[in-house]
Amino acid sequence: MKIEHILKAVDEYEAFLDKIMPLGPEMYPTNKFLMDLEGTKQKHIRWMIQQIRTLLEEEENIPQALAYFYFIQGIMWREGLYTIDDLTRHRVGISEGINAACEKAPNW
């Protein structure tokens, strides 16, 4: 997987979040269960996207960036926003755009 593919995918995820719920980034406490109050999931994903971009600036941080990337993809799949095929295409740099996902996420 190439870094530019990851960056392209997180750009798409961020644009998707902008369309469905424009909220700022916020780290969720790691010692608590996730409660979806006031867009908590979306805020945390935005925080993780910021972290991915920062981590990818240094080669030794790539494994952590990938862990965050795959975590975000897991959430997107779990919420029914992207199919496994979509997420695979994101990893290899081919994207269908955010419109299909936005249609699936009116309540997310």
Three-state secondary structure call for residue 56: coil
Instruction: Give 98's Cβ-side CA count (13 Å radius).
Output: 16
d(CA 19, CA 51): 21
pLDDT of 81 strictly over 80: yes
pLDDT of 16 strictly over 70: yes
Q: What is the pLDDT of residue 102?
A: 46
Q: What percentage of the chain exceeds 70 in pLDDT?
A: 75
Mean pLDDT computed over 51-59:
93
